[in-house]
Amino acid sequence: MVKFLRKFYMSLIFIFLYAPIIVLIIYSFNESKSRGHWGGFTLKWYAELFRDREIIKALYYTFLVALLSSIISTVIGTFSAIGIHNMGLLGKKFALNINYLPVLNPDIVTGIALMTLFISLNIQLGFVTMLISHVVFNIPYVILSVLPKLKQMNKHTTEAALDLGATPAYALRKVVIPEIMPGVITGALIAFTLSIDDFVISFFNTGPGVTNLSIHIFSMARKGVKPSINALTTLMLLTVVILLLLINKRTTKGDELIP
């Protein structure tokens, strides 16, 4: 009985989660633009998707910004985390409290604050400002991932390395970094995921010609039915499922899936 209830409940939840997506996928093959009639099977919306310069441009910027921002924020974040870890108590508290502000603040406040900064300094909004704002909200997450690993690390290993004649830089490279690497990778992945999906912060800090997927969908969604978005949904679902299957194959514990 309990088993049945479980299955039933989970099925309901999954229907709830997937219904909208499945519906869009079905419509993506619909010949007719209208949501009411089925006009026949077609792949033309997919063709249109690839010809749509705007969507390609949006995808391009989305990936570019996400990649650059995650790399930059991982590098800065990792080194800063190491630095913070080695700070005195007061300094550490101060640094961490400010650092976590972008995490705690609603993204609309962070986005507006950054926009205010750029406008006040008469900086033209565009690719650079969008990249900077992504880095701003990415670094705290990197630090969030790396710090616990630093705490877990055995302090004596580093001391031992120094005692044995290693320069601090060498100790950093060969002792510290390998130990905290899982945290660094996780941080990079979180940064990347957040950047790909970001809407609000990018919305306020981008300029003419620079857009990302979320911003593009937002403006498209307010124009009514755009079947190429449905096609995009299908492709996206496919990509995500394949990616997750690949990652899953390489993971032993299910818990690691959680970002």
Of the candidates 85, 131, 134, 146, which one interacts with another protein according to CB under 8 A?
85
d(CA 103, CA 98): 10
List all residues 6 or more positions away from 173 whose beta carbon is below 8 Å from its beta carbon: none
Of the candidates 15, 43, 67, 160, which one interacts with another protein according to CB under 8 A?
67
As measured in angstroms, the least distance from the Cβ of 179 to another protein is 14
30 three-state secondary structure: strand
Of the two residues 41 and 106, which places its CB atom closer to another protein in the complex?
Answer: 106
Q: Does 167 participate in binding another protein (rule CB under 8 A)?
A: no
Q: Please report how the helices 53-85 and 213-221 are oriented relative to each other, as an axis angle in degrees rounded to 10.
A: 130
Q: Could you please report the per-residue DSSP string of 57-94?
A: HHHHHHHHHHHHHHHHHHHHHHHHHHHHHTS-HHHHHH
Q: Does 170 participate in binding another protein (rule CB under 8 A)?
A: no
As measured in angstroms, the least distance from the Cβ of 212 to another protein is 10
As measured in angstroms, the least distance from the Cβ of 74 to another protein is 12
Q: Does 27 participate in binding another protein (rule CB under 8 A)?
A: yes
d(CA 94, CA 107): 22
d(CA 250, CA 131): 31
User: What is each CA distance from 20 to 24, 25, 157, 186, 198, in whole angstroms?
Assistant: 6, 9, 52, 30, 21
Of the two residues 43 and 244, which places its CB atom closer to another protein in the complex?
Answer: 244
Contacts (CB under 8 A) with another protein, residues 87-116 = 87-88, 91, 95, 98-99, 101-102, 104-109, 112-116
- From residue 204 to residue 223, the character string flagging contacts with another protein as x (rule: CB under 8 A) and all else as - is x--xxx---xx--xxxxxxx
As measured in angstroms, the least distance from the Cβ of 49 to another protein is 11
